[in-house]
Amino acid sequence: MNKNTWVVGFMLFAIFFGAGNLIFPPNLGFASGQFFWPAIVGFILTGVGLPLLGIIVGSLDESGYKGVLHRINPVFGILFLSAVYLTIGPLFAIPRTGATSYEMAVLPFLKAPSAMSLLIFTIIFFGITLWLAINPSKMVDRVGAILTPLLLISIIALVVVSIFLLTGTSPVKAQADVYTNLNTSFFSGFTSGYQTMDAIAAIAFSVIVINAIKDKGITKETGLFKQTVLAGIIAAIALGFIYLTLGWIGSHYHLSAAQLSEIKKNELDLGTYILTHVAHDTFGTFGKLLIGIIVSLACLTTSTGLVVAVSEYFNEIFPKISYKTYAIAFTLFSFILANQGLKAVIEKSIPVLLILYPIAMTLVLIMLVAKFVPTPLLAFQIPIILVTIVSVLSVLSAEFNILPFMNALPLKAQSMEWLLFAVVGYLIGYVLGLRQTKISYK
């Protein structure tokens, strides 16, 4: 494993590790309490395992996800990938980085939040994001070799001291009804991992990783796949360590009734509140500054990677518009949405994720199977169609409560009712595909 692999691996970790990766684990830890371990295992499976799998699978085909989806159905490919890139880009994930940075890096030093302070901060934040993203060929060195080491050092300093201070304290009592036993806790953690958006982000980031490795002079013949896997493993280990430790801190950080009342009254984010107070308890006033540095670096590297990924994709689809124009437009749009506040951004993203995640996971798993089992194109098409239908119905059921029959679907309680449809769809497509055509993915 050479230096370039480490640099690319650190860059991948940095662009994955953003706003949600910081605030969701302590939130999960506090909510799950004594059932922390099954919950965090489920969370890591979707928050680490699926992104790693997505990066690896994306490198199996020279054309990546774009080429595979084009062969399945060109229209579906463009629509799905556009939805993915817009979701992890200017609609949700990029604005979330700016809003989270403000709440954790600036708000603790203010008497009260204000629209003007948020505006000033986001101008600076997205200005730096644009500067880093405007020349994507230099992003790997800027992020992987400079910002990521600073980010890791800051996080490790906070985590080590916090764990030392909390060692010996008992876990908090589970705060949510979904954390009542091992089974429900695992699946609740599993679906909570969706909110990091990393599994669908991997579809976009796989292109960045492959291009970054190619820029180092490595080709398919000289070990492109191997280097991609190694870079992915480096990022996955770092992410898993951070999730586990931040989640453990949340599960052992006791909040008083007054603090819980304050969080509810002011509609504060629980994970943000815990991290800010843990930092203050461990390092005093400097702790607030430290957590601000951690959040700003984490969110900045993620926002940069997302602007690059989204701009490059749409530049490929509509090349008449330059990459630079896309980067400016998406950054500006994200800046506008970030000024709506963190809570609004997170709440609006959940229904979209419930639709995209099952489709993305189905696509990744089928591509993985197809690498070893010759798979007809129908075996791709049918399960994705079924999963799309089930996902939309699930959101309608959950958000509007107009489809009560959805509650009777298998695995509905675990929010994985799509899985059975995906498996059945694949089998049907496989059998029909073998009869109709000999064209296969492999």
Reported as type and span, the H/E element at residue 220 is none
Write out the two tokens for 13. 């970790």
Q: Quick one: pLDDT at residue 144?
A: 54
* Distances from the Cα of 159 to the Cα of 241, 293, 294, 355, angstroms: 10, 14, 11, 34
Left (φ > 0), alpha (ψ -120 to 50) or beta: where does 18 sit?
A: beta
Tell me, what's the pLDDT at 96? Answer: 86
Domains of the chain: 3-339 (1.20.1740.10), 351-441 (no CATH)
What number is the average pLDDT over the span 30-43?
A: 93
Return the pLDDT at 411.
78
Q: How far apart are the C-alpha atoms of 245 and 174, rounded to whole Å?
A: 18
**Angle of the 198-215 helix axis to the 342-372 helix axis, nearest 10:** 70
- Three-class secondary structure of residue 217 per DSSP: coil
When the pLDDT of each residue in the chain is averaged and rounded to a whole number, the result is: 84
Q: Provide the percentage of residues in the chain whose pLDDT is more than 90.
A: 23
Rounded mean pLDDT, 323-349: 87
- Res. 62: pLDDT tops 70: no
Q: What is the pTM of this model?
A: 0.79
Q: Which residues partner with 376 through β-bridges?
A: 440
Q: Which of 14-28, 141-155, 161-175, 334-348 has the lowest mean pLDDT?
A: 141-155
Average pLDDT on 419-441 reads: 79
pLDDT exceeds 90 at position 298: no
Residue 199 clears pLDDT 80, i.e. is over it: yes
For residues 347 and 277, the model is more confident at 277
Evaluate the CA torsion angle 27, 147, 150, 338 in order and state its sign.
negative
What pLDDT is attached to residue 351?
77
| Span 294-306, average pLDDT | 82
Among the ranges given (28-42, 127-141, 363-377), the one the predictor scored with the smallest mean pLDDT:
127-141
pLDDT at 137 over 70: no
Can you name the residues that pair with 440 across neighbouring β-strands? 376
Q: Which of 429, 306, 325, 436 has its CA nearest to residue 378?
A: 429
**pLDDT band (50, 70, 90) for residue 140:** low
In the prediction, which pLDDT does 360 show?
87
User: 207: pLDDT confidence band, cut at 50, 70 and 90?
Assistant: confident
Lowest mean pLDDT among 40-44, 221-225, 417-421: 221-225
- pLDDT of amino acid 240: 93
Greater confidence (441 vs 176) lies with 176
Tens digit of each residue's pLDDT (9 = 90 or more) over 100-123:
888 888 888 887 778 899 999 999
pLDDT of residue 439: 46
Is residue 99 predicted with pLDDT exceeding 90?
Answer: no
Which one, of 288, 337, 347, 416, lies nearest residue 97 by Cα?
337
pLDDT at 286 over 50: yes
Mean of the pLDDT values across residues 138-155?
Answer: 66
Higher pLDDT, 123 or 341: 123
pLDDT for 440: 46
**Direct distance between the N- and C-terminal alpha carbons of the chain, in angstroms, rounded to an integer:** 29
**Tokens 């996971």 — which residue?**
361
**pLDDT value of residue 228:** 87
CB neighbours of 288 closer than 8 A, spacing ≥ 6? 108, 109, 276, 279, 280
pLDDT > 70 in the chain, percent: 91
SS (H, E, C) 226-253: HHHHHHHHHHHHHHHHHHHHHHHHHHHC
* Residue 442: per-residue pLDDT: 47
**Closest Cα partner for 151 from 18, 273, 25, 60?**
18
When pLDDT is cut at 50, 70 and 90, the band that residue 245 belongs to is very high
Residues 332-356, mean pLDDT to the nearest whole number? 82
| pLDDT given for residue 145 in this prediction | 61
Question: For position 441, what pLDDT does the model report?
Answer: 44
Q: Is the pLDDT of residue 408 over 90?
A: no
Which pLDDT score is estimated for 123? 96
